[in-house]
Amino acid sequence: MDVNAAVAALAAIAGVCTGVIAMLAFRWSERDQARPTRTSLHTDAVLPPGVDTVLSVLRSSAVVLDESDSVVKASSAAYALGLVRGGKLAVEPMLHMARDTRRDGEIRQVELDLPRRGTGRGEALAVSARVAPLGSRLVLLLVEDLTEARRIEAVRRDFVANVSHELKTPTGALSLLSEAVMDASDDPEAVTRFAGRMQIEATRLTNLVQELIDLSRVQNDDPLEDSESVRVDELVAEAIDRSRQPASTKQITMASGGTADLHVWGNRGQLAAALGNLVENAVNYSPARTRVGIAAHRVSATGGDLIEIAVTDQGIGISEKDRERIFERFYRVDPARSRATGGTGLGLAIVKHVAASHGGEVTVWSSEGQGSTFTLRLPEAGAGRDRTPTGPDEDDRRYDTDPSIELDPPTVIPAPEVLP
């Protein structure tokens, strides 16, 4: 009986000890969970008050590093640029800057070229990185993307260089011709010949200056400030009249047709200049005794109807590699032919800017040896105003794919006969 009582007492004591040990273990586990860990230190709580709010409104990409170079805070733009990967700063030069700034507390700034993520063409991102201490333990890295600013600066620099070159050519020719006239003062025939050349160069210079003015105007002006409903028939007639003399010289027949009484909304002067440039190019790049057609049609598109004005020629055509660049300023498919015809290389650039500023677009179809079709698409006057351009349905694109458009009913304007 005493033995059984002793065993029962020992069992009770063992149960009490087990309960006490379990309770102590539970309490210890709770305290461990509440204790800050290395991971929990890398949260917003370690940032000074208000820093998180400031970083969220900055335009620059922001990264905050702790004393172990781990990322405490990073903006979404920093991830988009590829600055942060796996919780670490992935750009080694920036990491060295951060360490140096943490050591001596000095603010540092540098411009770098970073490889662009997701491309295999070696394209680089131009960035400006600035590192500054943030409190006693943290370092703030601000990165600004300069890629677009550099691209714009390169375009501006190339434009100035191209303008200088294009202006230098006719002015240099005029200077040489004037000297030749002075030296040939006793030779009336030579004076007449040199004076004719001077007139050609002066005309080329005048055209270049005027097109530079036109390009500057269409880039800076808002066409909707001085807009009106413009009849497409009048634009076509004006474009044909502008090129009538060179077409007559080359015995080129110009024909207009399509849907009558169409209207577009915009600046009449800019629209006339754009269509006139397309027709003038078609005449200049067409061989003698061929045909240039201008056709206007209404096509349905999402957001409102479009007016398509297609200018088709039977000229030399444009190669595929040149088609990607023909709307660049001063770009010429055939520089020798352009200079022979007095071209400046700005006509199609003006057309592109006019189309874009009016909510439309200009496209080209071409085949070498068969000719080209330039199609100017503009929103129709009325409901299509102030809308983002959307391409027409595939069934309505026949003027982009067929160089021999049928103009029905055609209004043929024959070129007058050239006397032998």
Last residue of a domain, one of 145, 170, 203: 145
Q: How many CB atoms lie within 10 A of CB 105?
A: 11
66 plus 167 within the same structural domain: no
Place of tokens 């008050």: 49
Residue 137: give its domain's CATH number. Answer: 3.30.450.20
Residues 247 and 141 in one domain: no
The mean per-residue pLDDT over the stretch 299-309 comes to 88
The DSSP bridge partners found for residue 130 are 109, 142
26-30, 192-196, 270-274, 315-319: range with lowest mean pLDDT: 26-30
Domain CATH for 313: 3.30.565.10
* Overall pTM surpassing 0.75 (yes/no): no
With the C-alpha atoms ordered 315, 216, 268, 222, is the resulting torsion angle positive or negative?
A: positive
What is the rounded CA–CA span in Å between residue 286 and residue 370? 10
Tokens of 247: 């077409």
Could you tell me if residue 418 is inside a domain? no
Question: Of 106, 128, 145, which residue sits at a domain end?
Answer: 145
Query: At which of 194, 220, 246 does a domain end?
Result: 220
Residue 206 belongs to domain spanning: 147-220
Whether residue 207 sits in one domain with residue 134? no
Q: Are residue 155 and residue 109 in the same domain, yes or no?
A: no
d(CA 308, CA 310): 6
Backbone torsions φ then ψ of 187, nearest 5 degrees: -120, 95
Are both 284 and 373 inside the same structural domain? yes
**Which tens digits make up the pLDDT trace of 235-285?**
999 999 999 998 999 999 999 989 889 999 888 888 998 999 999 989 988
CB 42 within 8 A of CB 138: no
Return d(Cα 231, Cα 228) in angstroms, integer: 10
DSSP bridge partners of 380: 264
In Å, how far are 63, 76, 139, 168, 192 from 68, measured between CA atoms?
A: 14, 22, 11, 60, 84
Average of pLDDT values for 49-68? 80
Q: Give CA angle at 70 (68, 71), nearest 5°.
A: 145
Co-location of 302 and 400 in the same domain:
yes
Cα angle vertex 186, ends 181, 187, to 5°? 70
Q: Are residues 252 and 397 in the same domain?
A: yes
Contact 212/346 with Cβ under 8 angstroms? yes
Q: Does some domain include residue 230?
A: yes
Is 30 inside a domain boundary? no
Kindly give, in sequence order, each residue whose CB lies less than 8 Å from that of residue 151, ignoring residues fewer than 6 positions away.
Answer: none
The sign of the CA dihedral 48, 49, 51, 52 is positive
Residues 154 and 281 in one domain: no
> Do residues 120 and 151 both lie within one domain?
no
pLDDT tens, position by position, 124-183: 788 889 999 987 788 899 998 888 888 778 777 777 777 777 778 788 888 888 888 888
101-120 per-position pLDDT tens digit: 988 888 999 888 887 765 44
Domain total in the chain: 3
pLDDT category, 370, cuts 50, 70, 90?
confident
308 vs 262: CA distance, rounded Å: 10
